[in-house]
């Protein structure tokens, strides 16, 4: 079934939103507001439908040429064909819509609470990290690249224009080096040569640090050969092997240093962070500094403040907080991040009470807090965490989120415990995608 439609808005995803003649909502892949398109319906549900564009009959004013030749194949940046100002507006609108639909706040109030999205000075060449999957091409050779959108299909790319200039051509360089390393294993039936299933690369334009991380299954591995083969690739300052089984619930069995320092370094808000390969760190350094500024500004911290930082990672917010507050407690469950945070605090010369474990459980033992920072995973806060926040009674709460839906749910739950949302600032850490970080401030 085909229809001619006008795209009205962008969804939280890669699709544009249109409406059929009978009012049914239709999500159209790669649609841009203002487009007039001929659409084939792929999935027709009672309340909505999904389709793809057969032909763009008239370009919307926000449709532009994609700067990346892989944009329509790779699933990493589905908004490259959309003008940047329109991306920023859509990100703010999506957050406002979730606040109304899930957070239970009326539309006028939500519109007043959510500020304009903070733009990234660099819309391309901003990522300090790229991660690539490993497989085989049709000729049986090792393939290295990204996954096609909504698919497990591997797209072998030569470069990634979203990455920093030092990393942009890393896919091609690493593919060649790893094919050479695979050597005699190239024509086996193993889809993950050398037990390799993932390659991560980080590079800092501020420190000159570059780390290659090879994620492999535990087992025999040619460590010396890997070090020799990769040492000149990208002028890496560190090459490590992360031993872990593939899967979402993977546990890290260990990290082997193959060459160099064994860690990556980045400078953020005057602090130098030492980051291990398994540890999380924001991929857009300049925009991460905006997150820090918004958190510090929103919490009104003094030198006598008792502050906690939950889901702290390697200390993105912890170190700037410790530089200003009287006492800071940081809680993180990932062991590599806990170790990194302790080292980073020591290097920075700030004192932090670092606790490894579950944030909700540790929160119950903290007593009264003056201020609190939470930066949870996409699933948001647990009921136990929210109950712990109510028990600790911080006067101010900064909630950093990358998932508007679970954040909006938590806005409503926090309101039940007397916490009022006072400000929301979207920060665009991920240009060319629909993803966005936000910093929200609550008062008790």
Please give the Cα distance from 105 to 111 (Å, whole number).
10
How remote is the C-alpha of 88 from its chain's centroid?
A: 17
Q: Is 245 left (phi over 0), alpha (psi -120 to 50) or beta?
A: beta
Q: Known binder of ligand: residue 311?
A: yes
Contact status, residue 218 vs residue 243, Cβ threshold 8 Å: yes
Per the annotation, does 399 bind a ligand?
A: no
CA nearest neighbour of 390 among 422, 418, 420, 361: 418
Q: Which helix (H) or strand (E) holds 197?
A: strand 196-203
User: Are the C-beta atoms of 351 and 318 separated by less than 8 Å?
Assistant: no
Query: Of 126, 160, 260, 265, nearest to 204 (Cα)?
Result: 265
Helix (H, G, I), strand (E, B), or coil: what is residue 439?
Answer: strand
Q: Known binder of ligand: residue 332?
A: yes
Q: Are 325 and 396 in contact (CB under 8 A)?
A: no
Between strands 306-310 and 196-203, the pairing is: unpaired
Q: Catalytic: 77? A: no
> Backbone phi, then psi, for 198, in 5-degree steps?
-160, 140
Angle of helix 404-416 versus helix 383-392 axis, rounded to 10: 50
Backbone angles phi, psi at 218, to 5 degrees: -60, 145
- Out of 117, 160, 402, 436, which one is annotated catalytic? 402
| Under 8 Å between Cβ of 80 and 104 | no
3-class state of residue 23 by DSSP: coil
**Residue spans of beta strands (DSSP E) within 248-389:** 252-260, 264-268, 271-275, 306-310, 327-332, 353-356, 371-374
Helix (H) or strand (E) holding 85: helix 84-101
Binding site listing for S-adenosyl-L-methionine: 282, 311, 332, 375
Indicate which residues carry an active-site annotation: 402
Q: Enumerate the known binding-site residues.
A: 282, 311, 332, 375
């Amino acid at each position: 079934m085909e229809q001619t439609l006008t795209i009205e808005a962008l969804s939280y995803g890669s699709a544009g939103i249109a409406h059929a003649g009978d009012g049914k909502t239709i999500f159209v892949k790669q649609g841009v507001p203002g487009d007039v398109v001929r659409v084939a319906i792929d999935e027709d549900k009672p309340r909505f439908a999904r389709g793809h564009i057969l032909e763009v009959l008239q370009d919307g004013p926000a449709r532009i040429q994609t700067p990346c030749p892989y944009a329509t194949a790779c699933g990493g940046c589905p908004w490259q064909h959309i003008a940047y100002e329109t991306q920023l507006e859509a990100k703010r609108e999506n957050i406002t819509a979730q606040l109304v639909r899930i957070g239970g706040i009326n539309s006028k109030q939500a519109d007043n609470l959510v500020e304009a999205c903070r733009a990234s000075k660099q819309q391309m060449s901003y990522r300090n990290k790229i991660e690539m999957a490993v497989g085989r091409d049709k000729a049986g050779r090792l393939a290295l690249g990204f996954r096609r959108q909504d698919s497990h299909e591997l797209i072998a790319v030569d470069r990634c224009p979203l990455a920093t200039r030092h990393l942009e051509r890393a896919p091609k360089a690493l593919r060649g080096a790893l094919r050479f390393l695979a050597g005699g294993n190239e024509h086996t039936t193993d889809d993950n040569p050398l037990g390799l299933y993932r390659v991560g690369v980080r590079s800092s334009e501020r420190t000159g640090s570059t780390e290659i991380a090879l994620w492999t299954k535990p087992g025999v591995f040619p460590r010396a050969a890997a070090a020799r083969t990769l040492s000149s690739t990208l002028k890496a300052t560190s090459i490590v092997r992360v031993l872990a089984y593939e899967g979402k619930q993977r546990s890290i069995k260990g990290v082997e240093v193959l060459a160099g320092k064994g860690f990556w370094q980045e400078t953020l808000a005057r602090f130098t962070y030492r980051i291990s390969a398994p540890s999380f760190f924001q991929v857009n350094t300049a925009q991460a500094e905006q997150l820090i500024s918004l958190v510090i500004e929103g919490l009104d911290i003094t030198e006598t403040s008792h502050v906690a930082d939950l889901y702290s990672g390697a200390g993105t917010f912890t170190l700037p907080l410790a530089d200003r507050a009287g006492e800071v407690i940081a809680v993180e469950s990932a062991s590599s991040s806990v170790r990194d945070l302790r080292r980073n605090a020591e290097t920075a010369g700030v004192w932090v009470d670092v606790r490894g474990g579950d944030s909700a459980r540790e929160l119950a033992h903290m007593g009264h807090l003056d201020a609190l920072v939470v930066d949870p995973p996409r699933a948001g806060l647990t009921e136990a965490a929210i109950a712990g926040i109510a028990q600790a009674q911080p006067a101010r709460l900064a909630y950093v989120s990358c998932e508007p839906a679970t954040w909006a749910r938590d806005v409503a739950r926090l309101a039940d415990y007397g916490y009022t949302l006072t400000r929301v600032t979207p920060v665009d850490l991920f240009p060319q995608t629909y993803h966005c970080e936000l910093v929200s401030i609550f008062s008790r």
